[in-house]
Structure 1
Amino acid sequence: MTQNKRILVFRFSALGDVAMTIPVLWSFSRHYSDYEIWFVSRPFAKDLVEPIPNIRFFPIDLKDRHNGLRGLFRLFRELKKSGGFEAVVDLHGVLRTHILTLLFRLSGVKTAQINKGRKEKEALTRKNNKIFKPLPSTVSRYQATFQKAGFVFEMVSFPGKKLYDSEQLISNNASDNRTKEIAALFTGSEKDLTIGIAPFARHQWKMWPLDKMWDLISRLDNGNNQIILFGGRGEEQNKLEEWAAQLKKGTTFAGQLSLGEELRLMAKLDVMISMDSANMHLASLAGTRVVSIWGATHPYAGFYGIGQELEDAVQTDLECRPCSVFGNKPCHRGDFACMMRITPQLILKKVTNKIVSPQ
């Protein structure tokens, strides 16, 4: 890269939150093509940022090298040693990034930190005197943080399917068995829909009960629908493999693909069914329509998938919703009505209420 001007951007986790930085970084790169972006995050984020022009990924090791206060000072020295930055943009806003941002500010670098809107979110989710209104999206909060640092730009259309191109993933000339298996899903006989399903979330109050999900999957497993199940390693992988084995046209690659490969696979879907989870954000990045299922959380908190239509968010109207920003608080009512009242028929109607053309 030949750029002389550089900025430093922090966003360490979680996967969904990191995914929401990508459209903002893309838009910045379109408007400020003479800048190099140093993006500091956990190693998994490398596949997400790779397609963005003028970006350099710097992996952070919070378990060892960059752990604790001493590790943060080491990270600061490593970044300083690499050369000068015109600005530091903190999109995370946690103690670690507060310390790093302070160190750079004391060394004379312009800094900006995200306003997470904690008071607004508390008002939206509290049990009594709830203020129920849409809050700024996380993407817009990221954009506003760049603006604080002096970088004003409009968001531009994010070309997800072009950036996360699936052709290499499904090439018929592939040599390894796994890639051949993926390619076979998109060749041969005519299909109705290729449907991705991601039934898991980090917190249980964001998860639709698995018996209801299996009911839905069984209903979708008909005709020429192709079902691909998404999830992580361990228990999630075991459950998805168990389900896939019972389907006529179902499969899962859980625990087998890199994040970049998963994005490329998602780009080939006609629709993804997911929770309010990282998979909703990944499928959105890949340019795929998502029918998302919401329980304790709500799109109004600002974490909806970029480019998705609000009518594709499946949720029940209850006065207690939302009761949590992240889905990590137990149900106020004790009956988990927000999820229990969502039926497989309701999801099925959402999936099929539009004519979805294969990509």
Structure 2
Amino acid sequence: MGDVAMAVPVLRAFTEQHPQVRLTVLTRAFFKPFFKDLKQVTVYAPNLKGKHKGVLGMYALAKELKTLDIDAVADVHNVLRSKLLKWFLKGLPFKQIDKGRKEKEALIKGTAVKQLKTTHERYADVFRALGFDLDLSAPTFPDSKNLSGNALALIGNDSNKWIGIAPFAQYDSKMYPIDLMEDVITVLSKQHTVLLFGGGKDEISLLNALESKYDNVINVAGKLTFTEELDVISNTDVMLAMDSGNAHIAAMLGKKVVTVWNVTHPFAGFAPFNQPASNSLLANREEFPLIPTSVYGNKYPEGYEKAARSIRPKDIIATINTLL
């Protein structure tokens, strides 16, 4: 989800700078709401569990795509499926993202610890390789959306600042300890409305428990449609998230995003779009010098899963209050 969300501001910039070009985004149907404000963009959703499954499915998909009179392909994912499409769409200009694997390997090994090119710029490079100038330095964002009746009934329409908090990530090693996050929620909810985001049965259960303990804390997870959740995020004043999809969703909507980093690091290029470095709160590398231990947070030495405990709740609160 984060990869798709990171593409949105790049495509927004492209459509503004090349209004004569029509874009067809090949992605899962679930992500279609990401692109609803981009007038030159059409989403083509494959059925990856049905007729587009496997090698023969990719061949069938390529045949369908050829009927769209596509002039070129920008592959910003560069995975097995898109490699197959490249083969089946032979003859079309087909440029693929350079993921910078060697640079990222050097970063993880500690032989070249420095800021790498951002994923957003890597996406833009694919379009540049196709011959299109693309500048990401002056981004625009959609307006905040009107909330649905369901969302208003859940959240209300108070005059408080709205702070979104998405405390989960794909791996526990990318998360801020929930007891410390509760300390953050305790303080913020005294003055602001805190909206909790997540997904999955266990996560929703935990968020419901937090909601029940504090005034001004509302669990959004599992209670709204995905589009309604996006509209709620578009109305937040600040989003607090991990190195995860929710951070990128809020950033694509032009929100102020504070991110908490555990065993991963913004140097790998996955910081949310258009956010100052001061919005990324990092684990103490003097105590945990091997950070980043991996690009995606799935590998780490024993004890490093606790690295985020070196980030004090009061520093998170202070960063959010400064942005407010």
CA distance in 2 between partners of 1:211 and 1:351 (Å): 18
Which digits, 9 at most, give the CA deviation of each residue in 1:56-106, with x for residues without a partner?
1101222222111111111111111x23211011111111101101221x2
The partner residue of 2:92 within 101, 109, 112 is 109
Q: Is the 1:264–1:286 Cα contact (8 Å) retained in structure 2?
A: no
The partner residue of 1:181 within 138, 153, 157 is 153
The partner residue of 2:120 within 127, 139, 142 is 139
CA distance in 1 between partners of 2:142 and 2:24 (Å): 24
Aligned partner of 1:3 in structure 2 is none
CA distance in 2 between partners of 1:213 and 1:60 (Å): 38
Q: Does 1:198 align with 2:170?
A: no
Aligned partner letter, 1:220: L
Residue 146 and residue 260 in structure 1: after superposition, are their counterparts in 2 closer, same or farther (change >3 A)? Answer: same
The partner residue of 1:152 within 121, 133, 149 is 133
The partner residue of 1:298 within 259, 265, 279 is 265
1:7-156 superposed matches below 5 A: 15-80=1-66, 82-104=67-89, 106=90, 108-126=91-109, 129-155=110-136
Aligned partner letter, 2:117: P
CA distance in 1 between partners of 2:124 and 2:312 (Å): 37
Q: Return the offset for 1:156.
A: 5.9
Aligned partner letter, 2:23: I
What are the ranges of 5 or more consecutive residues in structure 1 without an aligned counterpart? 1-14
Count of paired positions: 321
Q: Is the 2:151–2:224 Cα contact (8 Å) retained in structure 1?
A: no
Aligned identity (percent) is 33
CA distance in 1 between partners of 2:228 and 2:133 (Å): 33
Q: Return the offset for 1:166.
A: 1.7
Deviates more, 1:112-121 or 1:52-61: 52-61
What are the ranges of 5 or more consecutive residues in structure 2 without an aligned counterpart? none
Which digits, 9 at most, give the CA deviation of each residue in 1:264-294, with x for residues without a partner?
2112112111101101011111221111100
Q: Is the 1:20–1:139 Cα contact (8 Å) retained in structure 2?
A: yes
Between Structure 1 and Structure 2, which shows a larger proportion of helix residues?
2
Aligned partner letter, 2:145: S
Give the TM-score of the pair, scaled to structure 2: 0.94
Aligned partner of 1:166 in structure 2 is 145
Q: Is the 2:13–2:140 Cα contact (8 Å) retained in structure 1?
A: no
Give the TM-score of the pair, scaled to structure 1: 0.85
Q: Does 1:212 align with 2:180?
A: yes
